[in-house]
């Protein structure tokens, strides 16, 4: 279905307007109910405005709701929805938003990845539209202050999505770990080094995918 057909099929009702407004509610229960109703109506696939409101919720303060948003966006962007009922304008709005994604928003998405394994495919779809995410993921992989689980997740998506600009960072991490293995020392007890050792296997897998 093309963009013009999607517009003809979609009708704004009072209930849809009210639900769209509730996406901005400070009450999480209202936001969740609004997401459910709008999804049932097929509104995110057909209305650029509603799609934009939903993609702007990728940093929702409630992790469960953030996961819900990721699932909805993944289904919109995915091949099945795209070929069946998603308008070109909806995809354009989502892509435009994700192209400007910042570090905090990527961290919010990676937190979803850590907590919800079932979000994996949806997050891959989202990251494919994040034009400059590779540069941000470089910093996240090397950020020693972040939880190692988040850094692992960053490495995973570097490889799965194919962020070629992360190769140098990943190679650097692998090189540091391998050099330390040749010259064991008490420094291995430090958290920074323990974390890098933990990340090693994820880095190797990511690099293999990027270089294949």
Confidence class for position 188, pLDDT limits 50, 70, 90: low
pLDDT of 8 higher than 90: no
Separation of alpha carbons 146 and 209, rounded Å? 24
Give the pLDDT confidence score for residue 83 in this predicted structure: 47
- pTM here is 0.90
pLDDT at residue 187, rounded to an integer: 58
The alpha carbon dihedral of 150, 61, 115, 135 has a sign of negative
Q: Which CATH architecture has domain 1-131?
A: Alpha Horseshoe (1.25)
**Domain locations along the chain:** 1-131, 133-212
Model confidence pLDDT, tens digit, residues 79-136 = 544 445 677 899 999 999 999 999 999 999 999 999 999 999 999 999 999 988 999 9
Q: What is the mean pLDDT of residues 32-55?
A: 95
Average pLDDT, the chain: 91
Of 165, 150, 164, the C-alpha closest to 202 is 150
Residue 196 and residue 199: Cα distance in Å, rounded? 5
Burial (Cβ within 10 Å: 0-12, 13-18, ≥19) of residue 100? exposed
- Residue 27's pLDDT is 98
Sign of the torsion formed by the C-alpha atoms of 198, 199, 200 and 202: positive
Closest C-alpha among 31, 107, 21 to residue 69: 31
């Amino acid at each position: 279905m093309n963009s013009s057909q999607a517009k003809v099929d979609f009708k704004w009702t009072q209930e849809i307007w009210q639900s769209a407004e509730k996406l901005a509610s400070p009450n999480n229960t209202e936001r969740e109910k609004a997401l459910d109703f709008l999804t049932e109506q097929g509104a995110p696939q057909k209305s650029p405005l509603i799609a934009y409101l939903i993609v702007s919720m990728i940093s929702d303060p409630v992790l469960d709701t953030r996961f819900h948003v990721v699932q909805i966006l993944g289904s919109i962007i995915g091949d099945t929805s795209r070929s069946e009922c998603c308008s070109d304008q909806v995809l354009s709005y989502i892509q435009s938003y994700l192209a400007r994604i910042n570090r905090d928003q990527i961290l919010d998405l990676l937190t979803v990845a850590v907590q919800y394994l079932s979000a994996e495919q949806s997050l891959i779809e989202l990251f494919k539209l994040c034009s400059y995410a590779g540069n941000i993921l470089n910093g996240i992989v090397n950020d020693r202050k972040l939880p190692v689980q988040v850094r692992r997740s960053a490495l995973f998506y570097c490889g799965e999505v194919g962020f070629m600009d992360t190769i140098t960072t990943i190679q650097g991490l692998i090189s540091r770990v391998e050099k330390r293995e040749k010259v064991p020392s008490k420094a291995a007890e430090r958290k920074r080094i323990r974390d890098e050792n933990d990340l090693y296997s994820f880095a190797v897998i990511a690099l293999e995918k990027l270089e294949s």
